[in-house]
Amino acid sequence: MTGKPVIAGNWKMNLNPDEVRKFFQDFRPNLSSGSAPEVLVFPTSVSLFAAQVALPADPEVGVGVQNIHWKAGGAFTGEISAAMAKASGAEFTLIGHSERRHLFGETDEEVGLKVGAALGADLVPVICVGEKLEERREGRLSEVILRQLDAVLPVLGSHPTKRILLAYEPVWAIGTGETATPEDAAEAHLILRGRLVEALGRENGGTIPILYGGSVKPDNTAELLGAPEVGGVLVGGASLDPVSFSKIVEAGAGA
Ligand code: PGA
């Protein structure tokens, strides 16, 4: 792994502003070793401000939004632009989470446009890819995740100096309690790394962290972080509880 592991909490449609404040009162990872991982949280947009106000100083926690629109503004009811998210204090944005792709019909093309908008607004995109159970059973893991990655490679190639994070989240492991084994994660991460290096060169493509997501919990974090090419974790359900998220951050400190 190059650099510190990234421990990211995707809060989805959970935690209102009061609940976010309460979360940070109880979020107390014990990081006596001094080797804090990079910690990120993704509240809903309406709780973004509450999160910024309540963030602890130690460990530092970065904040992001869960989705952006690719247009700069206009008649797009319910959407927020990358520049608006940035101006509201977001530093990161999830893009292409499987719930966006499969519940809201987000296409590979839209994911590419959103990544371009994020990079243009100096938001760090956390680009999510992952296969569904039937695709995996049909032996199409590589085809699906490479198709999703290929859709963003041209825009990554045109922003070679910008920070980018990738997340592999097998859809069958999200919210199901079914975690990919470290070997499953490594297999997918190696496929993604190979393509990143091929397309962007070793210097850029070799250093983009690839996070694993899907039923990450305090007791499986360390072994997942120990797998080849796993540079962090993207945590849904277990990031909503400040005690369990603290333990995941502690596991990241030991990685
Ligand atoms: P989960 O969600 O940890 O609840 O499986 C992960 C995600 O959707 O990012």
Kindly give the distance from the C-alpha atom of residue 74 to the centroid of ligand 1, in angstroms, as a whole number: 32
Kindly give the distance from the C-alpha atom of residue 233 to the centroid of ligand 1, in angstroms, as a whole number: 10
Ligand 1, atom 2: nearest CA belongs to which residue?
236
| Pairing state between β 124-129 and 92-95 | parallel
Q: Over its length of 255 residues, how does the chain's per-residue pLDDT go in tens digits? A: 568 999 999 999 999 999 999 999 999 999 876 688 999 999 999 999 999 999 998 899 999 999 999 999 999 999 999 999 999 999 999 999 999 999 999 999 999 999 999 999 999 999 999 999 999 999 999 999 999 999 999 999 999 999 999 999 999 999 888 889 999 999 999 999 999 999 999 999 999 999 999 999 999 999 999 999 999 999 999 999 999 999 999 999 976
d(CA 149, CA 130): 10
- The predicted model scores a pTM of 0.97
Residue 110 near residue 101 (C-beta atoms within 8 A): no
d(CA 239, CA 6): 13
Residues serving a catalytic function are: 97, 169
Token pair of 85, please?
A: 């998210």
Ligand 1, atom 1: nearest CA belongs to which residue?
236
Strand partners, 7: 39, 233
Ligand 1, atom 9: nearest CA belongs to which residue?
236
